[in-house]
Structure formats: structure tokens, C-alpha cells
Amino acid sequence: MHYVSCGMLVRAGRVFLVHRSSSKARYPNVWDFPGGHLELDENGQQALVRELREELSVKISPPAGKAILTRQDAEMFKEVWLVEKWDGDIVNAAPDEHDAIGWFSLDEAISLDLADADYPALFKQVLT
């Protein structure tokens, strides 16, 4: 089982997404939230802090409460955390993983090829 923690970064009514590289084994060529696999002895919040630092060069505090979305299938357990505060300027610090990054309005985000069919409902819930 793969355990994955992702962050839904939101600011000024827009959501931040990363485009997964075509070389990715799972979910290539789709837009997704930044994040990644939990390492040994990490919980989801700790993994999110580390992953956002590694992938975007930003610093966040571990999120409190529950993830805003959880998904489980036979191979993966994924959680998505709402992130509204961070320190630093977002950069694509992992260009081998993401070939594009960007901020999207609700209408723009729901029109993208997304990694998960439940993302549009999540966008609507958070951005409206």
C-alpha cells in the first residue's frame, strides 16, 4: 500500500496545481496537488510539510484537524490537506516530477485533465 499526502494550496480564490510529468508511472500528464509518499515513521502532516518544501521550496506548519479529502483503492491511500498559509515564494523545485505549475480559478481548474474525478467538487467546496 502506498500512502500519499498532498496539499491544496489556495490563495485569493485560486487553487495551485502541478502538472505531472509524462514519465510518472502513476497518473502521468494530469494536473494534481503537490505532495508525495510518506517516508518511514512519517504521518501525513509531516510528509506534507517535507514534500511542499522539496517540491515547491515553501515552508508550512503541519496542518491541524482532518484532511479535506481521503481516497483509498487497492494500491494507495491518499489524503489532501487544505493549505492557506506558507512562507516563501512557490517555485517548481521538482521539474522532473512536474513539467508545469500554475494558479487556477474555479472555472479554469475544473476544465483541466485532473488526477481525480472528485477534484472539481472539492474545488467548488473550497473556492466558493
Domains by residue range for the chain, with CATH: 2-127 (3.90.79.10)
The pLDDT-based confidence of 112 (bands split at 50, 70, 90) is: very high
Q: How far apart are CA 98 and CA 114, in angstroms?
A: 14
Give me 59's grid cell. 515552508
16 HSE (CA, 13 A, CB side): 26
Residue 61, classified by CB atoms within 10 Å of its CB into exposed (0-12), middle (13-18) or buried (19+), is exposed
Per-residue model confidence (pLDDT) at position 73: 87
The pLDDT-based confidence of 64 (bands split at 50, 70, 90) is: confident
The pLDDT-based confidence of 87 (bands split at 50, 70, 90) is: very high
Average pLDDT estimate for 16-38: 87
Strands 76-83 and 2-11: parallel
Q: What is the pTM of this model?
A: 0.93
Q: 25 pLDDT exceeds 80?
A: no
